Structure 1
């Protein structure tokens, strides 16, 4: 899970960089990645509470 979160954060960074340089074609991907990160963080938080 932590590896997946790290990969998604890197992807989000790259997407934001592409957005700033005008190279990003699929802007909806940013929203998808952000939601995926939030889902992973939620699961990790729930597991930590147990």
Structure 2
């Protein structure tokens, strides 16, 4: 689970890369659930929340950048 304070120190490109990798993992977990191979069902929820956390921080950074202009 990613902490918000750790994510705030990352650049927008790094955050985008993190979202992309989490989306890939989420996709793989969806297939595992469909085939009955998913062992850690809580991981689906963690990934969903991590994606939301990163997107929130991205929006906050975009808002502060827009305000600075």
The equivalent of 1:15 in structure 2 is 29
Which 5+ residue runs of structure 2 have no aligned equivalent? 1-14, 65-69
Task: Normalising by structure 2, report the TM-score.
Answer: 0.71
Q: Which of 27, 34, 40 is 2:48 aligned to?
A: 34
The alignment partner of 2:28 has SS state of helix
Larger radius of gyration: 2
Q: Which stretches of structure 1, 4 residues or more, deviate above 2 A after TM superposition?
A: none
